């Protein structure tokens, strides 16, 4: 994999890969290797700069960097609120295990005490749904218990294979 492919893969992994780099129409790309049409965060920043500093109309600035007017206004709002970090993608979905309220965790603790620390995760998951109305996956219950104990969730490790056989 060459450097451009590695950079593209990294941008994709980070969530900052421009979905339409072929629509970027700025001459900045040709003038310098610093500018990368695949880098969405960079294109958003340059779009904002183009409209503000160069006084280009919003629609023109957005089009030049392969984005929409809506994307411009969203980026502008985020940039005004959070600075450059506001142009980074935000994590989607829940930010923490919101179904594991203190009441649910107390219920889990009681179950663990009653079973001597050897829980049936499926049974416990069903009990939580019946009692609290929250459907949780058995693995999520296990992870919540491990987190509370300060341990990483258990993952089965593969047995090491030896290249030399005895």
Please list, in sequence order, all residues whose beta carbon lies within 8 angstroms of the beta carbon of residue 122, skipping any fewer than 6 positions away. Answer: 138
Confidence of residue 152 (pLDDT cuts 50, 70, 90): low
Q: Is the pLDDT of residue 28 over 70?
A: yes
Q: Is residue 163 part of a domain?
A: no
Distance from C-alpha of 5 to C-alpha of 29, rounded to nearest angstrom: 17
Q: Is residue 162 part of a domain?
A: no
Distance from C-alpha of 35 to C-alpha of 43, rounded to nearest angstrom: 8
Q: Is residue 164 part of a domain?
A: no
59 and 117 housed in the same domain:
no
Confidence of residue 158 (pLDDT cuts 50, 70, 90): very low
Q: How many domains does the chain have?
A: 2
Average pLDDT score over residue span 47-59:
96
Residue 124 belongs to domain spanning: 102-149
35 and 80 housed in the same domain:
yes
128 and 75 housed in the same domain:
no
> pTM, whole model, 2 decimals?
0.57
Phi, psi (rounded to 5 degrees) for 60: -65, -45
Distance from C-alpha of 108 to C-alpha of 17, rounded to nearest angstrom: 42
Higher pLDDT, 119 or 164: 119
80 and 107 housed in the same domain:
no
80 and 116 housed in the same domain:
no
């Amino acid at each position: 994999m060459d450097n451009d492919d590695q950079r593209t893969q990294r941008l994709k992994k980070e969530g900052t890969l421009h979905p339409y780099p072929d629509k970027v129409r700025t001459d900045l790309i040709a003038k310098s290797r610093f500018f990368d049409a695949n880098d969405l965060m960079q294109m958003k920043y340059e779009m904002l700069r183009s409209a503000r500093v160069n006084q280009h109309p919003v629609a023109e600035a957005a089009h030049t960097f392969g984005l929409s007017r809506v994307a411009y206004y969203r980026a502008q709002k985020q940039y005004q609120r959070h600075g450059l970090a506001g142009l980074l993608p935000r994590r989607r979905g829940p930010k923490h295990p919101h179904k594991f309220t203190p009441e649910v965790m107390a219920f889990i603790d009681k179950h663990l005490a009653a079973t001597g620390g050897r829980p049936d995760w499926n049974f416990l998951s069903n009990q939580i749904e019946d009692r609290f109305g929250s459907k949780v996956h058995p693995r999520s219950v296990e992870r919540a218990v491990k987190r509370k104990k300060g341990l990483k969730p258990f993952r089965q490790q593969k047995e090491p294979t030896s290249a030399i056989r005895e």
